[in-house]
Structure 1
């Protein structure tokens, strides 16, 4: 499943976890992405992998878009 989410500067994706594997791709903008306590900066063209059940969250430093791929699909997003 693919999702595309636009973030404004200063927006926060709260720390959370889920049983899905996730790949996040920064289409544009700048994001501080924390996975299992380690923070990395994603800029346009960068990506990161979030293992199942890993605690993760994001802070948007410069407005942009994240494209996330999940497996299996996020049925909670379809409701």
Structure 2
């Protein structure tokens, strides 16, 4: 179990830092209901996302894609991205460097 708290990031969405180092951070985002939203945003970090469970429709830049268990992808720095939950589940994101705003 992670020593980091579970933090609400929106209706039916939470995040929990699983591990961190100044160069890398692993974070679980849990979506509890269909229609829950990971709001569009961008940041200077490179992000990789692994779909542990559930189904999601992602917007990455000008592209939309639907992803499910076992899928993964990378979001480059400053690219606007976000998602809508199609089936409840968990995303595991890695960020480099660490997202200090999550600590």
Normalised by the size of structure 1, how large is the TM-score?
Answer: 0.96
Provide the aligned length of Structure 1 versus Structure 2.
78
Q: CA RMSD in A?
A: 0.6
Inter-partner Cα distance in structure 2 for 1:3 and 1:24 = 10
Structure 1 position 25 matched with structure 2 position 50: yes
Structure 1 residues without counterparts, runs of 5 or longer: none
Please tell me whether Structure 1 or Structure 2 has the larger radius of gyration of its CA atoms.
2
Task: Give the 4+ runs in structure 1 shifted more than 3 A.
Answer: none
Higher relative contact order (CA 8 A, sep 6+): 1
Secondary structure of the corresponding residue to residue 32 of structure 1: strand
Q: Distance in 2 between matches of 1:77 and 1:9?
A: 25
| Runs of at least 5 residues in structure 2 that lack an aligned partner in the other structure | 1-24
